[in-house]
Amino acid sequence: MMKKTRRSVVAIVMGSDSDWPVMKKAFDTLQLLNVPCEVHVLSAHRTPKRMLEFAENARANGVKVIIAGAGGAAHLPGMIASATTIPVVGVPVHITKAAGLDALLSIVQMPAGVPVATVAIDNAQNAALLAGQILSVSDLSIAKRVEKKLSLLRKRAHQKVIRSQKSLQTLVRKSL
Ligand code: RP5
């Protein structure tokens, strides 16, 4: 019997497969959250027609959130956002000597009417968490898994600060 695949509710798109090492973090996080997703390479300047076709049909195809990553003159997230009303989360990818700042500014500086929710440079994990949070508004089972993952991450961050405080105090005591 053929394995039944669930319909993707998140699409992860990127300008090049060279973005994958960064964008994989979004894929891995969505797997952990058990959110069905699909992955595409689509370039705003190299395959503009394919990109538009994807964006225009995304809602009809069941996609509810799009995560779009690109580096350099990163117009992919904004171009996709201009052709759909599905929420778009942009991931600036660090690929040039500008250390991702070029992509960050390209993605975050969208004008009124074409919003792109932009995460930090290379932070594809946050893009997936944000997508999970958006979906959790209308899906209680995703909400539970997102809550579990967020509380785990926050607990770890909390413990790290406690450990840092202890080691800093030890260092300071030693230098007195
Ligand atoms: C952007 O150009 C892509 O998103 C990628 O980050 C960058 C470089 O692409 P490649 O030259 O590695 O294909 O469109």
Average pLDDT over residues 80-84: 98
What is the band of 3 on the pLDDT scale with cuts at 50, 70, 90? low
Q: Is the CB of 94 under 6 A from ligand 1?
A: no
What DSSP character marks residue 72? S
What is the band of 2 on the pLDDT scale with cuts at 50, 70, 90? low
**Most ligand 1 atoms within 8 A of CB, residue of 24, 93, 94, 95 to mutate:** 95
Q: Measure 9 CA to ligand 1 centroid, in angstroms.
A: 25
Q: Is the CB of 107 under 6 A from ligand 1?
A: no
Average pLDDT over residues 52-56: 98
What is the token pair recorded at 115?
Answer: 């919003």
Residue 154: is it exposed, middle or buried by C-beta count within 10 angstroms (0-12/13-18/19+)? exposed
Identify the pLDDT of residue 97. Answer: 86
Spatial separation of the C-alpha atoms in residues 108 and 18, rounded to whole Å: 21
What is the band of 74 on the pLDDT scale with cuts at 50, 70, 90? very high
Q: Is the CB of 72 under 6 A from ligand 1?
A: yes
Query: What predicted TM-score, i.e. pTM, was given to this entire model?
Result: 0.93
